[in-house]
Structure 1
Amino acid sequence: MTFKEDPRTFHTQKMLKEALLTLLQEGHSLHQISIHKLTQRADLNRTTFYLHYQNINELKEHLTNDILQVLTDKIENLTSIFDRNRKEHLIQLLDYLLEQRNHILALVQFEEIEKHLLWLMKDLIVIRRNESKNIGRKVIVNPDVKAASIIGIIMWWLKDGLHLDSTYIAEQINLMYRS
């Protein structure tokens, strides 16, 4: 017998996550957010909150894990693509990051998003190098440095570089990746 989650549970958890994101985007730090402030923003009561989460940190972990799961899936898709569609998939990843920009920037203060992105990007680089047709080619740039550079570009773009579109950023990352 498979367990099916009650749609009301899903909806309530979504409301709480959105309320937390909104408060973080408004500039509140996690320790400034009380259960009262959070539930007031979500238009729920404290008891409802405690039916779903033990504390705000647990809610933050669930929210972060939701975003990290989608990022993991999207980057892992890039790992298995070695044809011309690779750039298209990178653009799709960048478009997703752009859509989630406010969420990512609000959560980046907890370091989990950026660290996870760094780990995923390094894994992608290592896998691609191992499966590359240029097996005898000398590796010039360390995967940690290359991954950090790519994540740095993405974070800069999300914070300050929105005048550039995802296609341009994908082209720049591809140029970097080839070096």
Structure 2
Amino acid sequence: MVSRPFDVSERAVVRAITVTGDDILHRPCREVTEFGTTELAELIEDMVLTMHVADGAGLAANQVGVGLRLFVYDCWDDDGVHHTGHLVNPVLDEPSPADRRLVDDAEGCLSVPGATVDVPRTDHAVARGFDQYGEPVVIAGNGQFGRCLQHETDHLDGRLYLDRLSRRDRREALRQMADRREHVFALRAARAAELGR
């Protein structure tokens, strides 16, 4: 059963999620230049549906094969606040000296299916960008949501969380993925079928 409620139109479709090794994940995405379009709205809806079917907290456009600077999110922060939405053309603020301390915490990725490893990131992040209509947006997050903002922006810069790991931890993540990916794909297919998508 899909664990979180969400609101997308009946026309939204589940898109295939790219997996590490796919070239689109390893190159920077292009900025969105046209706002308020039907195509952009449909992409966001498809990404939200795809993220929920895959039981993710965030999803970048290149994870569904579209090389645009856009991500969607559905994540809680350490204060118990639930954040949902999207961000177009995001840029992370440089952390202040007080926010530069790295915290190792468990992180997964829909493009590294089945793997969870500790990844060092700052505990707080501020992302600036736009909504789908071109209106400026500033989003701040701590804990898991701060981690999500950094993770998804990394994707749009052509980086996976694997790139932040030691050689040993990267091997462990890839081993986990090899062991679990078919099970993860089966769960995603079952969730999509449950929704009739």
- TM-score over 0.5 for the pair: no
Q: Whose Rg is larger?
A: 1
TM-score, normalised to structure 1, is: 0.29
Q: TM-score, normalised by structure 2?
A: 0.27
Q: Which has the higher helix share?
A: 1
Greater RCO (CA < 8 Å, at least 6 residues apart): 2
Identify, as 1 or 2, the structure richer in strand. 2
